[in-house]
């Protein structure tokens, strides 16, 4: 990516962002669509299963009604109770009565077995014997219900189809005596019309199972080989009366939806392949994918156009910068882009070029002035040489005539000039600065004689550290000029230069007349540039010069600190760092 141009980076970034957004939206849309369609299918299937269950319950209720009518038919119960031989006439009478109940019903056959073993029946496959009936596992349940109907699933018929049987004890209603057993059988195939009327999903598989998980009715052709797996039956049997679950069936994931048919203890089950649920969603996703691809291509083209529009003025600005880099400082942008940000960038570039051009001119002027100053400096070197020779002649003449004081003054003055105008560097060792100060004090002592005394202390460990030249003499001079009062008392000056770890601490203290608080405030404001000048124009300029030079060389923390107690003492101090750019090494000058 680093080697790509800005235009390509913008295009690649926009493509990546667009692709990620499309993938996220597509995935979310697919999930939402599948989930919505699944929920709708479950809701719709539950409604259809509920409708189907009600229809089955209605058919069952009709059978129960027939069972109740037979149970309460006194003519039938009288014949069954009194006929212990099973005469042909009695059987015909019962058969005709039972035939009446089969009209307009879905009943397969009706069978009544008296306690004496006489069989009364109507319908096909009625040859069922009493001993076989009494061997059934449900016979005890029928006896326990004492006349109430029991629904069971049987498969004793030659057709091989399962039968749903309503079986109950036949009783004399008046005496409550059991006189036999009545059974009404019907095939689950009667539900075929119910299932065909239900608008179930075309690809779903709906069937009826008994309590043991056996399929007792499959309304769809080609489904006879379908069976309920143990996993499916366990999940359905352990759940509520209705529900749904995802299960693998024949290696394919299916949505299983079920509902209880309570009266006959069966379950109505609908099996829907998950792939069918997602088929419509997949078609919609394909359509969405086509739309996304089209939008994505349009977005790429749009990004290329936008990138071109943004990068073109920047590329043009790059050409202007190359022109400036090659030394053409008169370059100015000709066109102005439409975008405010790019306009601002062009304007900043024009301002920068103008300032560079101005700075270049200033540098040329400064270089010219520097050359002139160097010429003047070379010319001025003649003057100190002449001054030293003159002072040496005066010193020799004073010694010849025995005037020692004049000789001392001349020597001290010569040392002063040697430091102040005889060296080109701004920095000198501390010991040399102290030597310069001592020469100055020697000259001042001739004037003040015994009225002024001065002593200087310096730590030997810092004598070779460099310091700005002519920094101590103005401060001592200031103490002398402003320290004497009208009383004529002497003044003592103490100069201390100490090694304080990472800094060098310089203190000039005198016991002169001191400075009033008001005057001290004015001086501090003058030093910090808050005041243009002091009231007396001749005062404070030496302090100002020293303070400015200290701050210029060592930073704002190196400025002068002045404290004073009137008629007691005045202290001027400052600190310079050892590790400053001027004090990185010791100097032996």
pLDDT in tens, 94-129: 888 888 877 656 788 888 888 877 888 887 755 443
Q: Which residue has the higher pLDDT, 509 or 38?
A: 509
Q: Which backbone phi and psi does 565 adopt, to 5 degrees?
A: -120, 110
Q: Which backbone phi and psi does 506 adopt, to 5 degrees?
A: -115, 130
Residue 447 above 90 pLDDT?
A: no
DSSP state, 572? Answer: E
Query: CA distances (Å), 361 to each of 46, 92, 261, 357, in order?
Result: 91, 138, 104, 6
DSSP state, 65? Answer: H
Query: What's the CA dihedral at 378, 384, 385, 388 to 10 degrees?
Result: -170
pLDDT band for 222, please (50, 70, 90 cuts): very low
Residue 78 to residue 58: CA distance in whole angstroms = 30
CATH fold group of domain 454-577: Heat Shock Protein 90 (3.30.565)
Residue 516 to residue 564: CA distance in whole angstroms = 8
**CB atoms closer than 10 angstroms to residue 327:** 9
Residue 439 to residue 435: CA distance in whole angstroms = 6
Place of tokens 């058919």: 59
Q: What is the pLDDT of residues 21-52, one digit of tens each?
A: 777 877 777 778 778 877 887 888 888 888 88
DSSP per-residue string spanning 499-547: EETTEEEEEEEE-SS---HHHHHHHHHHHTTSSS--SSTTSSHHHHHHH
Task: Check if the beta carbon of residue 479 is closer than 8 Å to that of residue 439.
Answer: no
For residue 526, give the nearest of 511, 516, 536 by alpha carbon: 536
**CB atoms closer than 10 angstroms to residue 52:** 23
pTM score over 0.85? no
Lowest mean pLDDT, pick from 22-26, 374-378, 405-409, 552-556: 374-378
pLDDT band for 506, please (50, 70, 90 cuts): very high
Residue 413 to residue 408: CA distance in whole angstroms = 8
Q: Give the end-to-end CA distance of the chain in Å, rounded to a whole number.
A: 58
What SS3 state is found at 408? helix
CATH architecture under which domain 1-286 falls? 2-Layer Sandwich (3.30)
For residue 441, give the nearest of 416, 460, 421 by alpha carbon: 416
The pLDDT value recorded for residue 404 is 65
Token pair, residue 365, equals 């002027």
The pLDDT value recorded for residue 414 is 66
**CB atoms closer than 10 angstroms to residue 445:** 16
Q: What is the pLDDT of residues 231-241, one digit of tens each?
A: 566 666 655 66
Residue 326 above 70 pLDDT?
A: yes
Q: What is the pLDDT of residues 457-486, one digit of tens each?
A: 999 999 999 998 888 988 988 888 888 777
Q: What is the pLDDT of residues 330-355, one digit of tens each?
A: 777 766 666 676 777 777 777 887 88
What SS3 state is found at 169? strand
The pLDDT value recorded for residue 588 is 44
The pLDDT value recorded for residue 459 is 93
- pLDDT over 70 for what percent of the chain? 74
Residue 503 to residue 575: CA distance in whole angstroms = 6
Over residues 161-174, mean pLDDT: 84
Long-range CB pairs of 565-571 (<8 Å, 24+ gap) are 565/514, 566/513, 566/514, 566/515, 566/516, 567/485, 567/513, 567/514, 568/511, 568/514, 569/509, 569/510, 569/511, 569/514, 570/479, 570/483, 570/509, 570/510, 570/512, 570/514, 570/515, 571/507, 571/508, 571/509
**CB atoms closer than 10 angstroms to residue 168:** 21
**Cβ neighbours of residue 473 closer than 8 Å, sequence gap 6 or more:** 436, 437, 440
Residue 70 above 60 pLDDT?
A: yes
């Amino acid at each position: 990516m680093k080697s790509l141009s800005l235009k390509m980076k913008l295009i690649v970034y926009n493509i990546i962002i667009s692709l990620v957004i499309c993938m996220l939206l597509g995935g979310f849309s697919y999930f939402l669509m599948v989930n919505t369609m699944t929920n709708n299918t479950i809701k719709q299937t539950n409604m259809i299963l509920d409708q189907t269950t009600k229809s089955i319950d209605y058919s069952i209720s009709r059978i129960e009604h027939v069972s109740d009518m037979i149970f309460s038919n006194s003519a039938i119960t009288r014949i069954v109770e009194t006929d212990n031989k099973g005469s042909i006439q009695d059987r015909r009478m019962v058969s005709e009565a039972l035939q009446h109940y089969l009209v307009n019903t879905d009943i397969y056959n009706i069978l009544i077995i008296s306690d004496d073993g006489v069989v009364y029946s109507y319908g096909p496959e009625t040859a069922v014997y009493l001993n076989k009936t009494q061997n059934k596992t449900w016979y005890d349940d029928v006896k326990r219900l004492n006349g109430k109907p029991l629904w069971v699933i049987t498969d004793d018929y030659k057709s091989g189809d399962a039968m749903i049987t309503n079986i109950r004890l036949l009783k004399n209603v008046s005496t409550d005596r059991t006189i036999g057993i009545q059974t009404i059988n019907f095939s689950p195939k009667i539900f075929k019309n119910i299932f065909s009327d239900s608008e179930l999903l075309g690809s779903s598989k709906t069937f009826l199972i008994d309590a043991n998980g056996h399929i007792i009715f499959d309304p769809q052709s080609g489904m006879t080989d379908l069976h309920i797996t143990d996993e499916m039956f366990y999940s359905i049997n352990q759940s509520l009366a209705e529900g749904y679950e995802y299960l693998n069936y024949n290696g394919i994931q299916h949505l299983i939806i079920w509902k209880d048919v309570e009266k006959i203890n069966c379950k109505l089950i609908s099996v829907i392949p998950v792939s069918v649920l997602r088929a419509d969603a997949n078609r919609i996703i394909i359509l969405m994918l086509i739309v996304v691809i089209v939008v994505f291509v349009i977005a790429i083209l749009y990004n290329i156009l936008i990138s071109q529009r943004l990068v073109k003025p920047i590329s043009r600005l790059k050409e202007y910068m190359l022109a400036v880099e090659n030394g053409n400082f008169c370059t100015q942008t000709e066109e102005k882009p439409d975008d405010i940000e790019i306009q601002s960038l062009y304007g900043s570039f024009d301002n920068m070029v103008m300032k560079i051009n101005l700075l270049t001119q200033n540098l040329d002027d400064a270089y010219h002035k520097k050359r002139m100053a160097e010429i003047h400096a070379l010319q001025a070197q003649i003057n100190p040489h002449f001054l030293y020779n003159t002072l040496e002649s005066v010193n020799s003449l004073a010694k010849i005539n025995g005037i020692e004081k004049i000789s001392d003054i001349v020597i001290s003055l010569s040392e002063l000039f040697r430091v102040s105008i005889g060296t080109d560097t701004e920095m000198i060792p501390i010991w040399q600065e102290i030597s310069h100060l001592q020469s100055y004090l020697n000259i001042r002592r001739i004037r003040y004689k015994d009225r002024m005394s001065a002593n200087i202390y310096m730590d030997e460990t810092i004598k070779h550290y460099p310091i700005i030249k002519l920094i101590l003499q103005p401060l001592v001079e200031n103490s002398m000029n402003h320290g004497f009062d009208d009383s004529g008392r002497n003044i003592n000056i103490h100069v201390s230069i100490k090694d304080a770890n990472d800094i060098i601490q310089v203190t000039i203290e005198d016991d002169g007349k001191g400075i009033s608080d008001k005057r001290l405030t004015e001086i501090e404001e003058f030093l910090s540039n808050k005041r243009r000048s002091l009231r007396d124009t001749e005062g404070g300029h030496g302090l100002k010069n020293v303070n400015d030079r200290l701050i210029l060389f060592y930073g704002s923390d190196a400025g002068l600190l002045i404290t004073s107690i009137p008629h007691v003492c005045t202290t001027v101090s400052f600190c310079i760092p050892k590790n400053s750019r001027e004090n990185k090494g010791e100097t032996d000058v």
